[in-house]
A and B are shown apart, each in its own frame.
Chain A
């Protein structure tokens, strides 16, 4: 990867590094700048450091490394930037360089990274196994016991903080649901053939969102496939400096899906979607996969985007009036520029009244594993989000990313705002099901 002895930032296409003309227009969009008013915690400052490192004017240091992990990777700066700076690429390479040089290495961090990125999230079967144990832990009463004991506070590196954010694990994961119930509901004369990326967290903790996605698609003339050989999308790896693993996972998924034969690859998690739409760039230098990656990227659709594109059918049913507000996942809004489509999906659901959320696209602090690595900033952002949620008066928050869903549900408890957090597509699926009672 750096066989020429240069660091990753030096190796990056200079036009990417040089694109920022330091106008500062992105600063007000950046949550970490807003919180600190420090130039180094702003997009302009971070890019300037990267450029200085690429130019050899600055050493990649621990301060730089910490700054790159203080960055949420929310990409609000990329939306705000009129000059077309590709912050996502800069960010991924900067973090990868931090890892390459081991700037933040410590025994605990190394252990946790190896265990999560290198092992757990590198294979879906492992995640499934862990998921089952976790479910046992959650249901057995052990969880309450552990919570009370304060044992978690003794755990290293903020891992204790992870526990209340651990979602409830489902009884059946997506593939079981699919094999047992969903597959047979594929319409016989389908207009579109699509395949679903099940995701990792979505798959074991929000399997019903995957089921709802499949249901909504089936009600819109789609035959839905669930390729068995699929793996985690690799976004966690890509965003946390493990570019090689990210590339390996991308190749596996491309092989598993055969996007060439599909009308669309459907993804319902903002974070995964943002990442897999970029396989094209990730594998651009891969002689064998570059072309297929391009085709893959052309076919990937966020579920809302796809439903709107095929002009989703408005469910014909009467449902009680309810107020809902919509939180924009960063990677849906900034990473994929999908912003109107989820709202359109919500507006299509009978009885739902959409109340706009102030700062709907301001990061909630979930940001992948940010709520574990930077708990203080993360909770600050969450409190800000919850105060806006409270102001809407809505009892339902819809959002298209599992990380945000976990974070906001936690925020509801933390700030005592009683809300139910759902995926927009779940509300839609419920409406389709209500058309004919008994059918699912």
Chain B
């Protein structure tokens, strides 16, 4: 359909500053946080109310124009990259916290609220919203739900899915669906809300989220384990869990990543060891002390050269927030950073870590690895230059092998970033024909015309 008619239709109910069509605007919404993927949309719309979202979708559905929902565009699978000539539906102006219901431990908010804001507001009421992706300062809660994002506290507290109690979703044809509520239990009908969590903007556009909060832990301790050998760090993680300790955080950084993070954050991270484990326990003070002592012992037995205990809560916070910059900091070393998100059962971690190292050497590509080790979730990051075609071919090959090996170990090609455009060619291998077929049937049931993020995840 021609752009003019579409834009005219949108202009009939949107203000000028809510409908962007200049070349400049189109070029800056052509990409998200993913390397190398971009497509110019026909226009960008910035609704400020749920009803506007409904109007936009109804119009696009009628005219069969592709629409991609977008939060802050920090996604790492190309999920928010528009279809050429489609509409970018940017939700950052739907950014109100509607209610903090302390009696029910619930927060209701619009999708454009930043994750950090959710966490801060909860904390101000003595409550805790645990999912904390590395991008917490800028990612939106809508994006988190659509990608079912994880974070640094997944091991003990789970991921975004575990905190979504209900959603308001605008369906492809503009109808508004409410699913879930503030009740702890609810088995009325299929659990539709669960379908939208991790749906990557392909089944509907989330316009309201009911989030579960928990009481804030009374105490927290942060430890740093230094290793001369990467696999020893991986083995320590398995040993901690085998000992029935569930820390809230078990993060891993390899030497390359540590160097980059330190050169940005300058907080005195050791740059002369092969791996660092960032470990955090929280809960009742007595329990925290005991677990911290146990972890220290296990880490030393596992071969840690040194175990440091953060002296203050602030120091612990500094360490965690430095860790959150890992991915971006790696870009100091190369213009293009291609990051993966493979996840394996924790017992297979040491094998996966060693394999990644080997792949890098075999294909002569520089890799920095970090990740949520406690979740079995690794982020091997290939450091390259997209203008070097030959190098990119090697990166492609290396990635493929990493994916295959992860699936072989009973793992997944993506633990938290989503399939998007970046990993869709690898999905059939993991899901098989039946899995793929069911996915497609669900998609058609919700979006028969096929306007919602078409071409994402599968064709």
Beyond A28-B116, A83-B328, 16 extra complex contacts between A and B, CB < 8 Å: A19-B331, A23-B33, A23-B328, A23-B331, A25-B135, A38-B20, A40-B24, A40-B25, A40-B28, A48-B31, A49-B24, A64-B24, A82-B261, A82-B264, A82-B329, A84-B332
| A63 and B331 within 8 A (CB) | no
22 A-B pairs whose Cβ atoms sit less than 8 Å apart in the complex: A19-B335, A21-B35, A23-B33, A23-B135, A23-B327, A24-B138, A25-B135, A27-B72, A38-B20, A39-B29, A40-B24, A40-B28, A44-B28, A48-B31, A49-B24, A52-B27, A58-B23, A67-B24, A82-B264, A82-B265, A82-B329, A84-B329
Closest to B44 in A: A39
Residues of chain A at interface, number, CB under 8 A = 31
Q: Given that A49-B27, A52-B27, A63-B24 are known contacts, is A22 also in contact with B32, CB under 8 Å in the complex? A: yes
Interface residues of A in 1-47 (CB under 8 A from B): 15, 18-19, 21-25, 27-28, 37-40, 42, 44-45
Q: Within 8 Å CB of B388, what residues of A?
A: none
| A49 and B28 within 8 A (CB) | yes
| B116 and A22 within 8 A (CB) | no
| B73 and A81 within 8 A (CB) | no
The answer for the CA separation of A255 and B336 in the assembled complex, in Å, is 42
Q: Given that A82-B328, A84-B332 are known contacts, is A24 also in contact with B73, CB under 8 Å in the complex? A: yes
Instruction: Enumerate the 10 nearest inter-chain pairs by beta-carbon distance, A residue then B residue, closest first.
Output: A82-B325, A83-B331, A82-B328, A45-B28, A21-B331, A82-B329, A18-B335, A39-B28, A23-B328, A24-B74
Q: Within 8 Å CB of B329, what residues of A?
A: 82-84
For residue B342, give the distance in angstroms from its CB to the closest CB of chain A: 20
A439 contacts chain B at the CB level, 8 A cutoff: no
A61 contacts chain B at the CB level, 8 A cutoff: yes
A144 contacts chain B at the CB level, 8 A cutoff: no
The answer for the CA separation of A38 and B90 in the assembled complex, in Å, is 10
Q: Within 8 Å CB of B226, what residues of A?
A: none
Q: Within 8 Å CB of B33, what residues of A?
A: 21-24
Closest to B34 in A: A22
Closest to A41 in B: B28
The answer for the CA separation of A58 and B46 in the assembled complex, in Å, is 23
Q: Within 8 Å CB of A45, what residues of B?
A: 28
Q: How many A-B residue pairs have CB under 8 A?
A: 94
For residue B140, give the distance in angstroms from its CB to the closest CB of chain A: 11
The answer for the CA separation of A39 and B261 in the assembled complex, in Å, is 26
For residue B312, give the distance in angstroms from its CB to the closest CB of chain A: 17
Residues of chain B at interface, number, CB under 8 A = 39
Closest to B33 in A: A23
Interface residues of B in 141-183 (CB under 8 A from A): none
| B28 and A25 within 8 A (CB) | no
For residue A234, give the distance in angstroms from its CB to the closest CB of chain B: 29
The answer for the CA separation of A63 and B28 in the assembled complex, in Å, is 13
B220 contacts chain A at the CB level, 8 A cutoff: no
Q: Within 8 Å CB of B31, what residues of A?
A: 22, 48
A314 contacts chain B at the CB level, 8 A cutoff: no
Cβ 8 A contact of A63, one of B22, B114, B328: B22
For residue A198, give the distance in angstroms from its CB to the closest CB of chain B: 33
B337 contacts chain A at the CB level, 8 A cutoff: yes
A166 contacts chain B at the CB level, 8 A cutoff: no
A285 contacts chain B at the CB level, 8 A cutoff: no
Closest to A64 in B: B24
| B28 and A48 within 8 A (CB) | yes
Cβ 8 A contact of B23, one of A15, A21, A22, A59: A59
Q: Within 8 Å CB of B23, what residues of A?
A: 58-59, 61, 63
A311 contacts chain B at the CB level, 8 A cutoff: no
B440 contacts chain A at the CB level, 8 A cutoff: no
Closest to A18 in B: B335
The answer for the CA separation of A21 and B328 in the assembled complex, in Å, is 7
| B74 and A37 within 8 A (CB) | no
| B328 and A37 within 8 A (CB) | no
Q: Within 8 Å CB of A15, what residues of B?
A: 335
The answer for the CA separation of A27 and B23 in the assembled complex, in Å, is 21
Q: Given that A23-B33, A28-B114 are known contacts, is A37 also in contact with B46, CB under 8 Å in the complex? A: yes
A288 contacts chain B at the CB level, 8 A cutoff: no
Interface residues of B in 88-102 (CB under 8 A from A): 90, 92-93, 95
Residue picked from B35, B116, B327, most chain A C-beta under 10 Å: B327
| A57 and B264 within 8 A (CB) | no
Q: Within 8 Å CB of A39, what residues of B?
A: 25, 28-29, 73, 90
For residue B268, give the distance in angstroms from its CB to the closest CB of chain A: 15
Closest to A27 in B: B138
| B24 and A28 within 8 A (CB) | no
The answer for the CA separation of A63 and B263 in the assembled complex, in Å, is 36
Q: Within 8 Å CB of A57, what residues of B?
A: 27
Q: Within 8 Å CB of B441, what residues of A?
A: none
Closest to A21 in B: B331
The answer for the CA separation of A40 and B138 in the assembled complex, in Å, is 16
Interface residues of B in 315-361 (CB under 8 A from A): 325, 327-329, 331-332, 335-337
| A25 and B114 within 8 A (CB) | no
B137 contacts chain A at the CB level, 8 A cutoff: yes
Closest to B75 in A: A24
Q: Within 8 Å CB of B32, what residues of A?
A: 22
For residue A122, give the distance in angstroms from its CB to the closest CB of chain B: 32
For residue A209, give the distance in angstroms from its CB to the closest CB of chain B: 30
For residue B39, give the distance in angstroms from its CB to the closest CB of chain A: 13
For residue A44, give the distance in angstroms from its CB to the closest CB of chain B: 8
The answer for the CA separation of A81 and B265 in the assembled complex, in Å, is 10
Q: Within 8 Å CB of A23, what residues of B?
A: 33, 74, 135, 327-328, 331
Interface residues of B in 78-126 (CB under 8 A from A): 90, 92-93, 95, 114, 116
Cβ 8 A contact of B135, one of A24, A37, A52, A64: A24
Residue picked from A19, A40, A45, A49, most chain B C-beta under 10 Å: A40
Digitize B37-72: 1 where CB-to-A-CB distance is under 8 Å, 0 elsewhere: 000000000100000000000000000000000001
Q: Given that A18-B335, A58-B24, A61-B23 are known contacts, is A25 also in contact with B264, CB under 8 Å in the complex? A: no
